[in-house]
Amino acid sequence: MTDTPFKTPNEHLIITLPNERQLTLSSPTSVAETAAAIGPGLARQALAGRVNGQLVDVCDPITHDAHVQVITPNEPEGLEIIRHSCAHLVGHAVKQLYPSAEMVIGPVINDGFYYDIAYERPFTPEDMAAIETRMKALISQDYAVVKQRVPREEALSIFRERGEHYKQQLIDDMPEESHLGLYYPKARKASPNRAVI
């Protein structure tokens, strides 16, 4: 199947699943909405997806007919996605406890993940305990991280205002990217908090 031209939000599109079953959903849709259309259990387990073979976040819009695979913790990519999400959770907890900390990078590695953080002093064991406690509190709030794609200049402006020099440098090192995905923390039952990591 080839992609169809862009469809307006009032039109429908065909989502083809790995077993060749097809769903008709309103455009735009997402991996999360596709999983929910299949069933509530899959919707709860959905971590990400593959759309026409490309790895995407569960919230990324799908605007064309597409082949969609929902990725769960049982998929090979599932553990890597969980680790990536944990890195974001560390970042959110650190920024809430230590607002002047500068977030550098938080990549996934073979046996876990790490986050490089620039701060005025090394973190102490007490700091690490506080970060872990804050992470647990965020998890207990049914804490979500919402991705928003923004133009490159807007991302640079946000990080400039926050004094996040390392994030600005990372963006400068990606001149081919016209839009970037920024992640905003949000409790599922509350309004979005505009702190960006």
Q: What pLDDT sits at residue 187?
A: 56
In sequence order, the β-bridge partners of residue 59 are: none
Per-residue pLDDT band for 141 (boundaries 50, 70, 90) equals confident
Same domain, 32 and 87: no
Q: For residue range 91-139, list pLDDT tens digits in order.
A: 989 999 999 999 999 899 988 999 999 999 999 999 999 999 999 998 8
Q: How many Å apart are CA 146 and CA 151, to the nearest integer?
A: 16
Beta strands in the chain (DSSP E): 12-16, 22-26, 48-51, 54-57, 66-71, 102-103, 108-109, 112-113, 117-118, 143-151, 179-187
pLDDT in tens, 56-99: 989 889 999 999 999 999 988 899 989 988 998 899 899 999 99
- Supply the pLDDT for residue 192: 38
User: Residue 48 pLDDT more than 50?
Assistant: yes
Beta-carbon neighbour count of residue 60 at 10 Å?
Answer: 19
In a domain, 112, yes or no: yes
At residue 37, does pLDDT exceed 90?
yes
CATH label of the domain that carries residue 148: 3.30.980.10
For residue 62, give the nearest of 2, 15, 24 by alpha carbon.
Answer: 15
Instruction: Please report the pLDDT score of residue 143 as a whole number.
Output: 63
pLDDT for res 149: 87
- Same-domain status, 24 and 67: yes
Q: How many domains does the chain have?
A: 2
CATH number at residue 42: 3.10.20.30
Question: 90 is in which domain, residue-wise?
Answer: 78-187
State how far the alpha carbon of 65 is from the alpha carbons of 14, 93, 132, 169, in Å: 5, 38, 42, 37
Q: What is the mean pLDDT of the chain?
A: 87
pTM exceeds 0.85, yes or no = no
